Amino acid sequence: MSARAAVILAAGQGTRMKSPLPKVLHRVGGRAMLDHAIDAAEALGCARIVVVVGNHSPEVRAHVAQRLGEASIAVQDPPLGTGHAVLAARQALEGFEGDVVITYGDVPLLHAEDIAPVFGSGALSVIGFEARDPGDYGRLVMEGDTLAAIVEAKEASAEVLALRTCNSGVMCASAALLFDLLGEVGNDNAKGEYYLTDVVALARARGVATRAVMAAEDAVMGVNSQVELAVAEALFQQVQRETHLERGVSMSAPDTVHFSWDTEIEPGAVIEPYVVFGPGASVRSGARIRAFSHVEGALVEAGCEVGPYARLRPGARLRQGARVGNFVEVKNVEMKAGAKANHLSYLGDGVIGAGANIGAGTIFCNYDGFFKHRTEIGEGAFVGSNTALVAPVTIGAGAMVGSGSVITSDVAPGDLALARGRQEVRAGWAARFMERMRAKKAMKG
Ligand code: UD1
Ligand code: CA
């Protein structure tokens, strides 16, 4: 197999998004569209990946620098067309010998499997698709199995406009051929741009083989507006739902369950309606996530029950059989096997021992306004309802905390801690008080 490289175009302004966030950093399935494109390039085994960015979006540049390094950035300024954009990557690909695929930072649903067929034929290859509405797409003019030319809609005759086989924009050729041909592309056309698509006719004129490989229209969809972003998200979710169902995840209302790009759910897990998975969620076989829960950056092991109406945040690790009930928020806490927090609690930064029971309304007071502190609860401990545990604090194994306590110092294993006002009872006081007040009210009439 010859070496592979990818050039990802991301220099467009994305003005139609009407958003301060650069277009390619908008997310699909909780992951920036640009990262989806980079994921595909990596999965294809590309040895070099170059992202073409504009000077107008330093955030995109910083994003690429962080993920791939400075050497993967090429700047195109000003943007003079797709052919010009690819030429901007030439220097970054200096010395690369092999095939270069051109993909896009705003095409989030295109996976490595869809792109792979463009490689290895020796021909210049383009990914085409059958468009429901060909609109402004470039048309693929075929002569049998040969791709004769790509004609941009603005330049097309009525006859060519009637073609429904369109250009996805993805193209692959050897680096030497690609950059050689791009050197010949001019901008004498309706938009005054350097069209990447012109390399097809130029290749043919040299007798180089040119061909199209087809992909599904949904896979090649580009995102230009918030409406299209929402459509891409819906398509992404649909695929996730089907994939999880096929794998053996139970969902009674899959259309109401939302996944992230990296959600891991084992076969045999049950996901009830209206559950949202943020990035980094992992649910093991035999766990149940009940309705209206939000799970992000959390691990839920076998036999656990979460929700309804629970929130698991990053660092929540629920070991076998742990239970988190309604209106409980768990962040950066390991709940060991069989630990329970069934109602109305905030558990942040700490560990809860196996089989410990956390009463309704318990709060881990983890933040002093400057630093975060840990709460450690031993195995089999019992924390009564409405307890504030002011961290850092440790409750020993098998210890008990009386309800309504504000615990500021450690409780040793097996001890009982009570930290609340002592109850006072005044015999008959209420009855006497009420009688006096009723009489007063009656006098006033
Ligand atoms: C392009 C194709 C068209 C294809 C369509 C698919 C050309 C000439 N036409 O048309 O055949 O059907 O995509 O969506 O290639 N970009 C840059 N720098 C530039 C210009 C564009 O980085 O100077 C990037 C944009 O950010 C965008 C992508 O390239 O992501 C496509 O550019 P755009 O101008 O939208 O091309 P289209 O006219 O849609
Ligand atoms: Ca476009």
Residue whose structure tokens are 């609109």: 135
Residue 149 and residue 203: Cα distance in Å, rounded? 9
Q: Which two tokens stand for residue 158?
A: 């009525």
At 299, is the secondary structure helix, strand, or coil?
strand
Q: Which two tokens stand for residue 28?
A: 């699909």
343 catalytic residue (yes or no): yes
Residue 23 and residue 32: Cα distance in Å, rounded? 9
Work out the burial of residue 91: count CB atoms within 10 Å of its CB; fewer than 13 is exposed, 13-18 middle, 19 or more buried: exposed
Taking residues 141-162, report their average pLDDT.
96
- Sign for the CA dihedral angle at 294, 312, 321, 399 comes to negative
State the pTM of this model: 0.94
pLDDT tens-digit series, residues 65-105: 999 999 999 999 999 999 999 999 999 999 999 999 999 99
Options 3.40.50.720, 3.90.550.10, 3.30.420.40, 3.30.460.80; CATH for 4-220 is 3.90.550.10
pLDDT at 1 over 90: no
Q: Which residues pair with 51 in a beta bridge?
A: 8, 73
Residue 75 and residue 168: Cα distance in Å, rounded? 23
Most ligand 1 atoms within 8 A of CB, residue of 82, 150, 164 to mutate: 82
Taking residues 198-220, report their average pLDDT.
97
Separation of first and last alpha carbons in the chain: 99
The domain spans of the chain are 4-220
pLDDT at 9 over 80: yes
- The ligand with the least distance to the CA atom of 23 is 1
The atom number, within ligand 1, closest to the CA of 11 reads: 22
Residue 340 and residue 352: Cα distance in Å, rounded? 9
Q: Which of 56, 111, 343, 373 is catalytic?
A: 343
pLDDT at 168 over 80: yes
CA dihedral 305, 311, 317, 320 (to 10 degrees): 0
Q: What pLDDT is recorded for position 226? A: 98
Q: Is the CB of 52 under 6 A from ligand 1?
A: yes
The residue that leads in pLDDT, 121 or 355, is 355
pLDDT tens-digit series, residues 111-133: 999 999 999 888 999 999 999 99
| Residue pair 222/241 in contact by the 8 Å Cβ criterion | no
Q: Which two tokens stand for residue 95?
A: 């010395």
pLDDT tens-digit series, residues 325-353: 999 999 999 999 999 999 999 999 999 99
